Amino acid sequence: MSESGTAQSQPKGSLSVLDQLKNYTVVVADTGDFHSIKQYEPRDATTNPSLILKSACDAQYSDLVDEVVFNANKEGVTDGEAVMDSLLVKFGVSILEIVPGRVSTEVDARLSFDIKSSLEKARSLIARYESLGYDRDRVLIKLATTWEGVEVSRVLEKEGIHCNMTLLFSMAQAVACAEANSKLISPFVGRILDWFREKTGEEYEGDKDPGVLSVTEIYNYYKKFGYPTEVMAASFRNTNEIKELVGCDLMTIGPKFLEEMQNDFAEIPEKLNVETSRESDATRMDMNESTFRYLMNQDEMAHFKLAEGIRKFSNDVESLGNLLNEKLSKIS
């Protein structure tokens, strides 16, 4: 029986889609919900301001949030935004107690165009993890893929602080990250699909999905030219998108689709692999700041979705700060 009480039809000796996927791709949980992470046994987990805000508003995590706020107040901290880093790391540490691999913790999206402040924030987050006994190799610092974010990643990687480049919608962004030696990129599948659906009024399925096509193009480019940067497909709208990207280095997937794949026993073939990528018709691109900015300006979808994503994450950071301020005021 499933958790919902519905009997699942499981062919004898077969593997679920989720278990098959794990044979080709590292599965990452895209959630701040510890219970979901335990249930689906991913290797890594990712968080972002929206997910942390959602979890912070969830009654089952109220004790965790209250503990962070209480300790901050005891130390004389009176500003919710000053408490935020402690909360982000508290969620991250709780996740690291569950997963064997890495957790991604995001730099404040409002710093997406500020190299100096982003570097300071990233180093501060890593220092917090290390002070609690967690090696920096188990933490990925998430940065929006602006040109400034790419430059921050270039510096941090040289310091042994690994980066997860998020809000990535274009080949220009992907190439810039690879040349900066970023550890990992998170190309957004579903948000690309959203834009094309709204723009054209059309539906896209299977390997015609523009988000799937974007990740496939990036994966092939990286593998053909030998870039070690990991490709982690993100932001899915349905499990068919996931099935079209089987073989991608990693995929970060929300609990809804993890459950759906756990209860699906269809056979899924590998779609992406290094051997076929080497035979692709990808041509090498040279990337610098002026080229990056020009190509982003010319790419209507990527330009819009990057700006939209930064705005949304920034708004959620502010909402989280307001929530923490409210909690602080009640114990002051």
256 is catalytic: no
- Positive or negative CA dihedral for 149, 151, 155, 161? positive
Among 90, 142, 305, 327, the one annotated catalytic: 142
Tokens for 195, please give them. Answer: 């834009």
Residue from 43, 48, 51, 39 nearest 21 by CA: 43
3-state secondary structure 48-102: CHHHHHHHHCCHHHHHHHHHHHHHHHHCCCCCHHHHHHHHHHHHHHHHHCCCCCC
CB-based burial of residue 31 (10 Å sphere; 0-12 exposed, 13-18 middle, 19+ buried)? Answer: buried
- Read off the DSSP letter of residue 237: S
322 vs 316: CA distance, rounded Å: 10
End-to-end Cα spacing for the chain: 48
The residues annotated as belonging to the active site are: 142
